[in-house]
Structure 1
Amino acid sequence: MTTRTLGVVMNGVTGRMGYRQHLLRSVLAINEQGGVTLDGGERVLLDPVLVGRSEAKLADIAARHGLARWTTDLDTALGDPANSVYFDAQVTSARVPAVVKALEAGKHVYVEKPTAETLEDATMLARRAAEAGVKHGVVQDKLFLPGLRKLRRLIDGGFFGRILSVRGEFGYWVFEGDWQPAQRPSWNYRAEDGGGIVLDMFPHWNYVLENLFGRVEAVIAKAVTHIPVRWDENGQEYKATADDSAYGIFELEGGIVAQINSSWDVRVNRDELVEFQVDGTEGSAVAGLRRCRVQHRSATPMPVWNPDLPATYGFRDQWQEVPDNEEFDNGFKVQWEMFVRHVLEDAPFPHDLASGARGVQLAELGLRSSAEGRRIEVPEL
């Protein structure tokens, strides 16, 4: 069995997501397991070069993990023929020019979502990647969560019959930053820096809905800035100019209606930080990050509305747990392995920049729906 290396330029690894999920739990974890195994048995190790703006942060990360290659000069990293792949986990506002540079250098590109701040830029990236003839992909990690993979299993097995509706709840309370440090970076709350929960989460909801239930055909949304003032990483007060909560209704092909609430101003009273309830003619399911519970038509109780008497049973106790039946790996890591195989042996990878552009389109139309107070149809790109 032979082993080779694949040079990967990783831009944005000093950020929370770029470091934890992509460098630590994906790229380094892949190397620790011996690499990605290709169809012919060959193993591929990833050789990352860390890119960012802070020499001190890059040097610290490299030293902690025994990595030799890091730089603050993206052009130098892209100019090295040993590097075949460019990965981008920067703030959204910095993504487009960096990805364009990578495409011009002939690199395969793999990027975090949203791929751009505007649909015009997102479609431009997809078009240029196609013209360059390189492999390209966007992170769509939630499809690989254990809970949603169990949900996929139920859909494929016909458990629901005809699916009627989807209801999603996502979010948690992000501290304002005055008397407790905020657990999200301050740029998330500044529209001028590419922030906003619609631009952050609607691309997620688009690929989840599209891959599990059907294409989004229309959207009605309300985007709100509930907390108008926050405090940044240096304890400085600033005005929040981006939406921090969004309430959306999505009409899907086949007549399915999806409702999803997204908020950084909600205290969690759920089993998991995100949950989707799917109701169908033959059964229902509630799927979260890891768990998935079901209630079949044949086992559905008969609730009776009686406000004069307390309920003597727990509604959650009437649902059945869907077993794992397999060992689930980190979703980010699984998709990295898929992309490596896509680059090296043309294995299927549907999560391309065109898919990413559809997510940006939904975010853009969601914000427009909110501003204009109306339902907006989503045209096919």
Structure 2
Amino acid sequence: MTRRSIGIVMNGVTGRMGYRQHLVRSILAIREQGGLALADGTVLWPEPILVGRNEAKLRAIAERHALTEWSTDLAAALARHDVQVYFDAQVTSERVQGIEAAIAAGRHVYTEKPLAEELAEALRLARLAEEAGVRHGIVQDKLFLPGLRKLRRLVEGGFFGRILSVRGEFGYWVFEGDWQQAQRPSWNYRAEDGGGVILDMFAHWRYVLDEIIAPVRSVQCLGAVHIPERVDEDGKPYDCTADDAAYGIFELEGGIVAQINSSWATRVFRDELVEFQVDGTEGSAVAGLRRCRVQHRATTPKPVWNPDLPATEDFRAQWQEVPDNADFGNGFRVQWEAFLRHVAEDGPFPWDFYAGARGVQLAELGLRSWREGRRLDVPELAR
């Protein structure tokens, strides 16, 4: 069996997502399974080159995983003859510059979302990549999570009849950093550094709604800065200039109404950190990251509202679990494998920079809707 190496510059692996999901649970997991088998029998072997600004952190990660290739010099890493792919998991404000350098070096590019802070920049990157003839892809991990794959299966199977509405709840309490350490980096709460829940999460909601339910046609958004001051990684207080919560209403094709709350200032009282309830004429479903439960029209009970008596029904017990019926695997790794096949053997990969631009578009319109206090149409993007 022939083994073929593919060099991957991974920029931003000292961050939480870059390290856990992309390096450890995707690239290193592919190596642990013996590489990625291609259709012609060749085994593709990822060779990660770790890049970042903190030499000590890079060295520590490399030593922990017996890796030898790391650098604080992005230009030198991109210039290596054995590099074919550039991956970006940096802070949002640094992403465009890194991707531009990779495209100029003729490297295929796979990146975390959002692709850019502004739609014009996202479209410019997409056109630059096309003109350079390099493959380009955006992380859209939630499409590959078990709960949402089950939900998609229900939609494609016609389970809901006519879909009426979607209700989404996402978020958790991010500690302010004073008496307990924050779970998210401080840049997330500074607009000048590309922070904000709208820019971060609306890119997710765009592809979830577009690809699983129906295309988004309009948005009305109310943002908030619920926690005006936090404490950074060095113990210094700072003013929060980016939104930490967003309350969005989206009209989808066919008159479907979606409501999604996104917040880093809420405490969790649900089964998973994100859940979507889809209601249709024939049935309903509640899907999270892993689980999906349904209630069909034929088994829908008839509850009676009586505020004078305690509820006696166990409402959750009236729903049925949707079985896995497949081995889903880690969602990030599944998409990594698809992108590597796209590069190595021209496998299908529809989640390109234009898909990333659509996410940026919805975030940009959401922020504008908040500023102007009105509903905005979401126009089609020309390629």
State the TM-score, normalizing by the size of structure 1: 0.99
Q: Deviations along 1:30-49, whole A, 9 cap, x unmatched?
A: 00001111112211010010
User: 1:54: which partner in 2?
Assistant: 54
- Other-structure match for 2:197: 197
Matches within 5 A, 1:79-158: 79-158=79-158
Local SS of the residue matching 1:379 = coil
Q: Distance in 2 between matches of 1:33 and 1:163?
A: 41
Give, as a single letter, the amino acid of the residue that structure 1 aligns with 2:30: I
Residues 205-284 of structure 1: pairs in structure 2 closer than 5 A: 205-284=205-284
SS at match of 2:254: helix
Cα deviation, residue 327, structure 1: 1.7
Residue in 2 that maps onto 1:329: 329
Deviations 1:188-212 (A, max 9, x none): 0000110000000000000100110
- The CA deviation string for residues 38-62 of structure 1, in whole angstroms up to 9 with x for no partner, is 1122110100100000111111111
Aligned residue for 2:37? 37
AA aligned opposite 1:105: A
Alignment partners' CA distance in 2, 1:312 and 1:21: 43
Please tell me the residue identity of whatever aligns with 1:370.
W
- The letter of the residue matching 1:34 is G
* Distance (Å, rounded) in 2 between the aligned partners of 1:255 and 1:37: 44
Give per-residue Cα distances to partners, 1:234-263, cap 9 Å, x unaligned. 111110000000000011111111100000
How far apart are residue 285 of structure 1 and its match?
Answer: 0.1
Quote the offset at 1:169 in angstroms: 0.1
User: Structure 1 vs Structure 2: percent identity of aligned residues?
Assistant: 72
Count of residues in correspondence between the two structures: 381
The residue that corresponds to 1:17 in the other structure is 17
Which structure 1 segments of 5+ residues have no match? Answer: none
Specify the code of the residue in structure 1 equivalent to 2:304. V
The 3-state SS of whatever aligns with 2:365 is helix
The residue identity in structure 1 corresponding to 2:246 is A
The runs of 5 or more residues in structure 2 that have no matched partner are: none
CA drift at 1:296: 0.3
Give the letter for the 2:317 counterpart: D
Match of 1:28 in 2: 28
The offset of 1:324, in angstroms, is: 1.1
Distance 1:214 1:364 in 2: 20
- 1:138-172, CA deviations, whole angstroms, 9 ceiling, x for partnerless residues? 00000111100110111111111111111000000
Deviation at 1:266, TM superposition (A): 0.4
Whole-angstrom distance in 1 between the partners of 2:336 and 2:36: 9
Question: What TM-score results when the alignment is normalised by the length of structure 2?
Answer: 0.99
Alpha-carbon distance between aligned partners in 2 of 1:38 and 1:163, rounded to the nearest angstrom: 39
In the alignment, residue 40 of structure 1 is paired with which amino acid?
D
What amino acid sits opposite 1:350 in the alignment? P
For 1:30 and 1:257, the matched residues in 2 are separated by 40
The CA deviation string for residues 42-92 of structure 1, in whole angstroms up to 9 with x for no partner, is 110100100000111111111111111100000001111210000000000
Partner amino acid, structure 2, of 1:339: F
Once residues 341 and 164 of structure 2 are traced to their aligned partners in structure 1, the CA distance between those partners, rounded to angstroms, is 36
C-alpha distance after superposition, 1:167-189 (max 9, x if no partner): 00000000001100000000000
Deviation at 1:101, TM superposition (A): 0.6
Structure 2 letter corresponding to 1:356 = G
Corresponding letter in the other structure for 1:79: A
